């Protein structure tokens, strides 16, 4: 795929049929831990305009914790998990109430979807999310997504909505991803550094990272900083989706393809969305170590991982959970969804499919990880 020009990428964003917009906490809330209704309304105005021009708009909105701690009487974003989860339960309701009112002024309906990584990693649940989102969009609704902060367990969570938004863009086969934050663009270094310069165009996000110094969050309510935004732009780029990153106040111009913020070109034609989800969605729960022959087969990209080439299993996981496939030196070769619970695997190690069938029964005569569920890293 040849690299498109900046103008081409901005034009593609302006013409997007389906667009995923992610907005960060600092763009919707005040440092006191309350919503900032004016800024939220201004954002909704830009999104409603895109919706009324025929775009299918999905909003990934942060802000539950940042909007909930003020009303609960805290001076700052709580740092312990239980209070964060309780705060998110309060803030999420306030956030949705305001979105509903703001979109209603334009006659637009919204629907809330709260996602946990755990909910979406298994094929059936993944398809469930996909189906619900597609149906909402078909019904002309603007889905508003957040991580289910109140229930997500700390061990397995997206943690930041930047990465979640790129996965959602992939899931709904979006034509563009818009990342809205509290800085107007990507800079060559954190904008607090006096010599940092705005980057208007990133033709290849993978190479670009070498020349850019990225830092953490600039606010007291944001979580990932620029690191997770670049990760999101990378996930989108390898899914064939262009990204524009700018501040929330520039949402309208960014959606219209105006020369604001930073645009990232797609680096690859669109691939299978489910495989990408396997590759990025959740931290693997365990490891299957394979011998040299199986490592070679897995690296080839088209083989399933058979028990015959597996040497060892580490960690505790259930069938359907994400796992690493490692070679003997400990190098990660691939990520995949396990076909069996971890405790079933030791008896299968090193056995051919015929042996598995004979000694353990028909139900074990299957790959440890099927090739459709395997993504090289």
Ligand X SMILES: N[C@@H](CCC(=O)OP(=O)(O)O)C(=O)O
Which residue ranges are tagged as binding site for substrate? Answer: 62, 149, 161
Q: Give the whole-angstrom CA distance, residue 307 versus residue 290.
A: 9
Using rule CB under 6 A, residue 183 touches ligand ADP = yes
- Which partner in ligand X, ligand ADP, none is near 146 (CB below 5 to 8 A by kind)? ligand X
User: Which residues are part of a known binding site for ATP?
Assistant: 22, 181-182, 223-229
CB 363 within 8 A of CB 319: no
Angle, alpha carbons 239-237-18 (nearest 5°): 65
CB 28 within 8 A of CB 62: yes
Locate all alpha helices (DSSP H) within 172-262, ordered by sequence.
205-208, 225-238, 251-255
Shortest Å distance, C-beta 255 to ligand ADP? 17
Choices 144-152, 208-216, 326-334, 359-367 (CB under 6 A): range interacting with ligand X: 144-152
Site residues for ligand X, 54-113, by CB under 6 A, read 62-66, 88
Q: Give the whole-angstrom CA distance, residue 169 versus residue 164.
A: 9
Q: Give the whole-angstrom CA distance, residue 196 versus residue 305.
A: 47
CB 272 within 8 A of CB 240: no
Q: Is 155 exposed, middle or buried (0-12, 13-18, 19+ CB in 10 A)?
A: exposed
Using rule CB under 6 A, residue 182 touches ligand ADP = yes
Tokens 């996000």 belong to 205
Q: Which of 18, 120, 161, 262 binds ligand X (CB under 6 A)?
A: 161
Choices 127-135, 221-229, 241-249, 277-285 (CB under 6 A): range interacting with ligand X: 221-229
Q: Which is nearer to ligand X, 24 or 279 (CB)?
A: 24
Q: Which of 12, 16, 18, 27 binds ligand ADP (CB under 6 A)?
A: 27
Q: Which is nearer to ligand ADP, 20 or 141 (CB)?
A: 20
Q: Which is nearer to ligand ADP, 120 or 217 (CB)?
A: 217
Using rule CB under 6 A, residue 49 touches ligand ADP = no
The three-class DSSP label of residue 287 is strand
User: Which residues are part of a known binding site?
Assistant: 22, 62, 149, 161, 181-182, 223-229
Q: Which of 149, 231, 321, 326 binds ligand X (CB under 6 A)?
A: 149
Using rule CB under 6 A, residue 160 touches ligand X = yes
Using rule CB under 6 A, residue 24 touches ligand X = yes
Q: Name the residue among 90, 185, 94, 169 with its Cα closest to residue 137.
A: 169
- For the chain, how long is the longest CA-to-CA vector? 70
- Which partner in ligand ADP, ligand X, none is near 367 (CB below 5 to 8 A by kind)? none
If you write DSSP's letter for every residue of 65-101 in order, what string do you get?
Answer: HHHHTTTTT-SS---SHHHHHHHHHHHHHHHHHHHHH
Q: Which is nearer to ligand X, 116 or 373 (CB)?
A: 116
Q: Give the whole-angstrom CA distance, residue 193 versus residue 178.
A: 25
Q: Which is nearer to ligand ADP, 185 or 287 (CB)?
A: 185
Q: Which of 92, 165, 170, 217 binds ligand ADP (CB under 6 A)?
A: 217
Q: Which is nearer to ligand ADP, 24 or 309 (CB)?
A: 24
Using rule CB under 6 A, residue 25 touches ligand X = yes
Q: How far is CA 144 from CA 21, 61, 126, 272, in A?
A: 10, 7, 17, 24
The three-class DSSP label of residue 339 is coil
Q: Which is nearer to ligand ADP, 69 or 187 (CB)?
A: 187
Q: Which residues bind ligand X (CB under 6 A)?
A: 24-25, 62-66, 88, 146-147, 149, 160-161, 222-224
Q: Which residues bind ligand ADP (CB under 6 A)?
A: 24-27, 181-183, 186-187, 189-191, 212-215, 217-219, 222-226
């Amino acid at each position: 795929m040849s690299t498109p020009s900046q103008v081409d990428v901005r034009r593609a964003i302006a013409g997007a049929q389906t667009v995923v917009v992610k907005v960060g906490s600092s763009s919707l809330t005040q440092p006191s831990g309350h919503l900032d209704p004016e800024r939220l309304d201004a954002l909704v105005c830009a999104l409603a305009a895109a919706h009324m021009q025929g775009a299918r708009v999905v909003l990934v909105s942060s802000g539950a914790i940042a909007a909930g701690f003020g009303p609960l009487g805290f001076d700052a974003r709580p740092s312990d998990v239980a209070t964060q989860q309780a705060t998110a339960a309060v803030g999420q309701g306030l956030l949705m109430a305001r979105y509903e009112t703001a979109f209603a002024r334009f006659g637009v309906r919204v629907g809330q979807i709260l996602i946990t990584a755990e909910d979406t990693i298994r094929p059936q649940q993944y398809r469930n999310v996909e189906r619900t989102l597609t149906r909402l969009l078909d019904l002309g609704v603007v889905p508003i997504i957040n991580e289910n902060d109140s229930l997500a367990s700390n061990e397995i969570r997206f943690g930041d909505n930047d990465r979640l938004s790129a996965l959602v863009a992939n899931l709904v086969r979006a034509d563009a991803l818009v990342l809205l934050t509290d800085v107007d663009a990507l800079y060559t270094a954190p904008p607090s550094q006096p010599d940092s310069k705005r980057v208007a165009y990133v033709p290849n996000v993978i190479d670009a990272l070498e020349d850019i110094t990225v830092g953490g969050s600039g606010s007291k309510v944001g979580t990932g900083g620029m690191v997770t935004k670049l990760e999101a732009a990378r996930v989108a780029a390898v899914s064939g989706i262009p990204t524009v990153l700018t501040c929330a106040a520039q949402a309208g111009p960014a959606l219209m393809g105006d020369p604001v913020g930073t645009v990232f070109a797609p680096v690859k034609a669109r691939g299978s969305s489910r495989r990408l989800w396997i590759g990025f969605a959740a931290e693997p729960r365990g490891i299957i170590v394979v011998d040299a022959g199986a490592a070679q087969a897995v690296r080839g990209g088209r083989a399933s991982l058979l028990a015959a080439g597996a040497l060892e299993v580490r960690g505790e996981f259930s069938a359907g959970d994400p796992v690493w496939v490692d070679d003997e030196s400990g190098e990660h070769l691939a990520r995949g969804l396990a076909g069996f619970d971890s405790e079933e695997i030791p008896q299968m190690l090193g056995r051919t499919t015929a042996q598995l069938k004979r000694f353990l029964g028909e139900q074990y005569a299957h790959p440890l990880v099927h090739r459709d569920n395997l993504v090289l890293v």
